[in-house]
Amino acid sequence: MGYCKWADINERNKIYHDTEWGVPVHDDRKMFEHLFLECMQCGLSWDLMLKKREIFRNCFDGFDYDRIAEYDNSDIERILNTEDMIRSPRKIEAVINNAKCFQKVREEYGTFCDYIWSYTDGKTYLYTGHNKINGKIPVSNGLSRRISKDMKKRGFKYVGEITIYSHLQACGIINDHDETCFCYKKIISNNPTVKKRRDNGEMFL
């Protein structure tokens, strides 16, 4: 049985890979949690995000976007003073801002999930050629660029095209598991999937 190479770093990453990464998300609380982690990860390692996930959960009311949207300066101070918390006022303020933007999208679309899944008509994209070019997958593409541009217009912060591409992978809108990975076929068999050609403007690192 194959496995995605990046996931075999430690047990924490392995569990995340096996149970979450690439599994389609249709719950707004979980979708916000994924977006939260991606925003906080900017400039840092993903393993650190997983390591601090419970600290984030405790600091931010279990990723309840409605409660986070009401945070004020005292909450920012509380979070900054939490032991082992990432002490970035800009990121914490961005999370609060994003919670407010998240609410506005829900007002317009009913759910944030309906909004973001509308870009793929509710289907998981399976790009032909990913993992076949020297074993690499993109860090951004045309889809992530379009969504990033729209989210920025809506006021979201820390949502560049690379961050959004990572988010689309995490929440199952793009299935970028290695073709030999057991999760690859499991996701395809349990969710509506459509094969797509490589999107214009794919960027690799």
Distance of CA 66 to the CA centre of its chain: 19
Active site residues: 16, 38, 46
Long-range contacts of 77-80 (CB under 8 A, 24+ apart): none
Assigned token pair, 12: 């924490």
CB-CB contact of 133 with 42 (8 Å)? no
Using an 8 Å Cβ cutoff, are 113 and 28 in contact? yes
Contact yes or no for 99/39 (Cβ under 8 A): no
CA 54, CA 85: separation in Å to the nearest integer?
10
